Structure 1
Amino acid sequence: MVKYYCNLDEERLIAMVDENKYNLNMDIKYDYLEVIKVPEIIENCKEKWFNQTLCKVNSSVLRLGIFEGEFHMHKHDNDDEVFYVLDGELLIESEKGSFKLAKNEGICIPKGTMHRPIANTKTIVLMIENEGIKPIGD
């Protein structure tokens, strides 16, 4: 169950999402000119739904998702979102239809579109989003 609150900082808002169901790390893990070590993050991940911001690119961020299970239905009013599957398989359910993504496939979800990612097995995903996006939705 997702609870939405107004005027709370993003950290507090994320903590209110289903009490630890998702591990959403908004801190930027790698600085400019620092090698991004995705296999190391994957190896150390024990959570079923994990998200780590890897780096900032202009006003966007590159995030790594390690997913197993279902995220809740949500939308981003002012932000597009890209999902690109590195390993596994990701189903994106949306108000515009369902999209099954295999390894090396991706999709761009337009702002304002209700959607939810589902991973029936462990799936590794790269995401590109605006830096200020709320992963749990608006």
Structure 2
Amino acid sequence: MTATSPARIAASLAELWSPRVVAEVDDAYVKVARVHGTLAWHSHEHEDELFFVLKGRLVIELEDRRVELGEGEMFVVPKGVRHNPIAEEECHLLLIERKTTLHTGDVVTDKTRSLSEQLRPLD
């Protein structure tokens, strides 16, 4: 058990759209990611997904609207809701997801990361 800085870890990541697990809370993982551009339209059938912006701005496209988040803001995408995260400039995120949540949910793209990739040790 040690204190950690999600903002520092997110800033140190080399890969974009490649979340890394930094903590566990009961049946959830706390992850950080460095993102820029568009991820993919997807949904998580059985899991909610919390996005918290550590740095920058994030747009989460939903089928019926867009949610715009600035630093220090968060949004929970409810289970089953199709969404597409977009960062027009580099953005650092903290994510909270159940351990069963697949990175890009019901789709697989070249940006999809396996759980083992997300759990690998930080540099």
- Shift in Å, 1:44: 3.1
CA RMSD of aligned residues (A): 1.4
CA distance in 2, matches of 1:39, 1:93: 24
Aligned-partner SS, 2:45: coil
Match status 1:126 vs 2:64: no
- Shift in Å, 1:68: 0.8
After TM superposition, what 4+ stretches of structure 1 lie above 6 angstroms from structure 2? Answer: none
Q: How many residues align?
A: 106
**Identical aligned pairs, as a percentage?**
29
Question: What do the CA deviations read for 1:70-117 (whole angstroms, capped 9, x no partner)?
Answer: 100000000000001011000000123110100111101000000010
Gaps of 5+ in 2: 107-123
CA distance in 2, matches of 1:94, 1:40: 29
Residue 108 to residue 40, structure 1, CA distance change in 2 (3 Å): closer
Normalised TM-score (structure 1): 0.71
Residue 102 to residue 39, structure 1, CA distance change in 2 (3 Å): closer
Question: What do the CA deviations read for 1:9-45 (whole angstroms, capped 9, x no partner)?
Answer: xxxxxxxxxxxxxxxxxxxxxxxx2222435423432
Aligned-partner SS, 1:75: coil
Aligned-partner SS, 2:101: coil
- For residue 79 of structure 2, the aligned residue among 90, 111, 128 is 111
| Code of the aligned partner of 2:105 | G
Match status 1:102 vs 2:73: no
Higher relative contact order (CA 8 A, sep 6+): 2
- For residue 50 of structure 1, the aligned residue among 18, 26, 32 is 18
- In structure 2, the partner of 1:6 is none
Normalised TM-score (structure 2): 0.79
- Shift in Å, 1:47: 2.0
